[in-house]
């Protein structure tokens, strides 16, 4: 019978490090051992396992794809908020959208969208420029099915929406009442310009179309150099000539690609 706080051996942890790297390209440092046991320990209880080796055998055998996805969901960090690193959205509005030909379609990909705040932030910025009846679309993708399901609903606690400017809250969001009191729903006219899809950036990409802008922010910090180069190369193929590629403020594409030209730190152009 499984007991609380099962200890994980170094060898067991190394197996999970190798497995999540193989699946998602994520490099779990040794410092993440506590995080792993904290998140996977509940799955040991669920299956009444006494060791992490038993759980590893289950998820690595291919016999239970649903549980493998559960493991990936638990081990991928999903931290984001509305208008995070807002200078990127200022650049989008003032430098990119301002030059876009009126009436022409405009497509953005949030390639590691987590729980969807970045997608809806982008949607609000585009709606301000093109209107909610304009010809534009924001695609959000993530490896985690769990966060994608949440993203598509567009329902957030009021506390999570603090970064949204008051005028945008009034224009693009609905306040919950009765059973939904304290919640905020992204309004349908905005949500109809969004789509969500599960994408593992570490694998061959599915058909997505091409994009005017790709956001890949605050995810490469979990990749090693080789994985970073491979992921960027895949995504750049989906970026239109003249399109922009934007990474997080703590990230850089220096040494990872010679296809893109730096416009300013963290913002790149495909000639």
Positions marked active-site? 39, 142
Token couple for 248: 């997080």
SS (H, E, C) the chain: CCCCCCCCCHHHHHHHHHHHHHHHCCCCCHHHHHHHHHHHHHHHHHHCCCCHHHHHHHHHCCCCHHHHHHHHHHHCCCCCCCCCCCHHHHHHHHHHHHHCCCCCCEEEEECCCCCCHHHHHHHHHHHHHHCCCCCEEEEEEECCHHHHHHHHHCEEEHHHHCCCCHHHHHHHEEECCHHHCCEEEECHHHHCCEEEEECCCCCCCCCCCCEEEEEECCCHHHCCHHHHHHHHHHHHCCEEEEEEEEECCCCCCCCCCCCCEEEECCEEECC
């Amino acid at each position: 019978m499984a007991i609380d706080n099962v200890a994980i051996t170094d060898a067991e942890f190394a197996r999970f490090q190798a497995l999540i790297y193989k699946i998602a390209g994520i490099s779990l440092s040794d410092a993440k051992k506590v995080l792993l046991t904290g998140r996977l320990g509940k799955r040991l209880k669920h299956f009444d396992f006494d060791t992490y080796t038993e759980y590893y055998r289950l998820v690595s055998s291919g016999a239970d794809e649903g549980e493998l996805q559960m493991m990936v969901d638990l081990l991928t960090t999903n931290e984001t908020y509305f208008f995070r690193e807002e200078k990127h959205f200022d650049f989008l509005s003032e430098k990119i959208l301002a030059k876009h030909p009126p009436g022409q379609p405009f497509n953005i990909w949030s390639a590691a969208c987590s729980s969807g705040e970045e997608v809806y932030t982008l949607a609000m910025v585009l709606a301000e420029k093109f209107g909610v009846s304009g010809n534009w679309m924001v695609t959000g993708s993530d490896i985690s099915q769990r966060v994608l399901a949440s993203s598509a609903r567009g329902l957030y606690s009021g506390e999570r929406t603090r970064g949204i400017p008051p005028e945008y809250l009034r224009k693009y969001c609905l306040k919950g009442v009765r059973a939904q009191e304290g919640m905020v729903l992204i309004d349908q006219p905005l949500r109809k310009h969004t789509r969500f899809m599960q994408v593992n950036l570490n694998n061959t990409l599915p058909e997505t179309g091409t994009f005017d802008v790709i956001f890949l922010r605050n995810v490469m910090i979990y990749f090693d150099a080789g994985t970073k180069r491979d992921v960027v190369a895949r995504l750049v193929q989906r970026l239109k000539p003249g399109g922009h590629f934007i990474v997080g403020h703590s990230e850089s594409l220096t040494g990872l690609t010679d296809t893109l030209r730096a416009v300013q730190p963290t913002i790149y152009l495909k000639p």
